[in-house]
């Protein structure tokens, strides 16, 4: 049974249909890359899966349990939503660190509040656990630095540690390196690679095709609110079946060569 199963998810803003029926499955330990030109609905999909938006139709099943149903979501209580939220972690394109807190405090803030509310428990002292997550992303020596004292790549890695520390079943990354220059991009990508090696289940929206090819177990190509094609990296990058996928990838190769 799939860890996550997304079925016929639809979302529109007013008259604009942004998601027109998205379905896919995620197995435990999979690394899925979502590619597609901008405006194709990738961010909206992530926002719906993380409950920053409510989808209009469709459902989301996690571990065999329906955690979102387009038919009944209006009846979910705030407490219920909060518990559903904690199944997933989301890393944003522009990090969204809390500027008034140090790297360590950024990680511990939610840990402490959730522990206090009895929603999560951690093995050992929260500060120690949080520092070990920061060490894992290579920032063990930056615990007391404020976000404004860190490079973009370091900030993004704090954001990754912050999400990881809550032990989500699936971690979502929305263009985690789009705000970074190439050098910093690589340090974040290598962090993602090491997470992939540790069997973290991840779904990553990215324009880094080489990374998608090397790391993913599955690639999804989205366009115009649909999943046009999905498959193994080999299938998508070397042998795309749909003409749309082909033209998207060829336009990508052209711009990369420029």
Partner 1 sequence: MSFNQVTQELLKGFWQNCQLFGLTLLFAIPLGFIITLGSMSKFAPLAFIVRRGKADKLIKIKYLGFIIKHILEFKPICFITRVFVWIIRGTPLLLQLLVVFYIPGLVFDIPMKNRLLAALIAFVINYAAYFSEIYRGGIEAIPRGQYEAGQVLGLTKPQVFFKIVLMQVFKRIIPPMGNEIITLVKDTSLARIIAVAEILKAAERFTARGLIWPLFYTGAFFLLFNGLLTIILGWIEKKFDYYRT
43 near Mg ion, rule: CB under 5 A: yes
User: Beta partners for 145?
Assistant: none
C-alpha dist (Å) from residue 138 to 119, 132, 189 = 28, 10, 13
CB 68 within 8 A of CB 51: yes
Least distance from Mg ion to the Cβ atom of residue 175, Å = 6
Least distance from Mg ion to the Cβ atom of residue 30, Å = 21
- Residue 174 CA to chain centroid, in angstroms? 5
206 near Mg ion, rule: CB under 5 A: no
Per CB under 8 A, residues contacting partner 1 are 50-52, 78, 82, 85-86, 88-90, 92, 94, 96-100, 109-110, 113-114, 119-120, 146-148, 162-163, 166
**Pairwise CA distance, residues 198 & 209, whole Å:** 21
162 binds, among Mg ion, partner 1, ligand ADP, none (CB under 5 to 8 A by kind): partner 1
Least distance from Mg ion to the Cβ atom of residue 102, Å = 29
Least distance from ligand ADP to the Cβ atom of residue 92, Å = 12
- Helix or strand holding residue 253 (H, E): helix 243-257
148 binds, among partner 1, Mg ion, ligand ADP, none (CB under 5 to 8 A by kind): partner 1
Q: Which of 221, 216, 150, 237 is nearest to 187 (CA)?
A: 150
94 binds, among ligand ADP, partner 1, Mg ion, none (CB under 5 to 8 A by kind): partner 1
For residue 61, the number of C-alpha atoms closer than 13 Å in the C-beta half-sphere is 14
**Pairwise CA distance, residues 97 & 47, whole Å:** 18
Burial of 141 from C-beta contacts in 10 A (0-12 / 13-18 / 19+):
exposed
- Residue 117 CA to chain centroid, in angstroms? 25
Least distance from Mg ion to the Cβ atom of residue 64, Å = 30
29 binds, among Mg ion, partner 1, ligand ADP, none (CB under 5 to 8 A by kind): none
Least distance from ligand ADP to the Cβ atom of residue 20, Å = 11
**Pairwise CA distance, residues 95 & 101, whole Å:** 14
Per CB under 6 A, residues contacting ligand ADP are 13, 16, 18, 36, 38-44
**Pairwise CA distance, residues 157 & 176, whole Å:** 10
13 binds, among ligand ADP, partner 1, Mg ion, none (CB under 5 to 8 A by kind): ligand ADP
157 binds, among ligand ADP, partner 1, Mg ion, none (CB under 5 to 8 A by kind): none
Contact residues toward Mg ion (CB under 5 A) are 43
């Amino acid at each position: 049974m799939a860890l996550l199963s997304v079925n016929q998810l639809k979302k529109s803003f007013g008259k604009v249909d942004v998601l027109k029926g998205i379905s896919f499955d995620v197995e435990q330990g999979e690394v899925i890359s979502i590619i597609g030109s901008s405006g194709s609905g990738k961010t909206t999909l992530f926002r719906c899966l993380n409950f920053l938006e409510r989808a209009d139709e469709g459902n989301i099943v996690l571990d065999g349990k329906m955690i979102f149903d387009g038919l009944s979501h209006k009846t979910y209580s705030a407490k219920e939503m909060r518990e559903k939220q904690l199944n997933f972690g989301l890393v944003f394109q522009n990090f969204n660190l809390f500027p008034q807190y140090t790297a360590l405090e950024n990680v511990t803030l939610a840990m402490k509040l959730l522990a206090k509310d009895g929603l999560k428990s951690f093995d050992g002292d929260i500060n120690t656990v949080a520092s070990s997550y920061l060490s894992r992303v290579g920032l063990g020596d930056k615990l007391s630095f404020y976000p404004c004292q860190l490079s973009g790549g370091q900030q993004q890695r704090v954001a990754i540690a912050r999400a990881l520390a809550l032990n989500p079943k699936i971690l979502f990354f929305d263009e985690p390196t789009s705000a970074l220059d190439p050098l910093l991009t690589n340090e974040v990508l290598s962090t993602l690679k090491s997470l992939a090696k540790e069997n973290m289940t991840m779904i990553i929206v990215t324009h880094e095709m080489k990374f998608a090819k090397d790391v993913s177990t599955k690639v999804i190509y989205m366009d115009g609110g649909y999943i046009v094609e999905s498959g193994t990296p080999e299938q998508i990058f070397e042998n795309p079946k749909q003409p749309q996928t082909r033209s998207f990838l060829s336009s990508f190769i052209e711009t990369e060569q420029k």
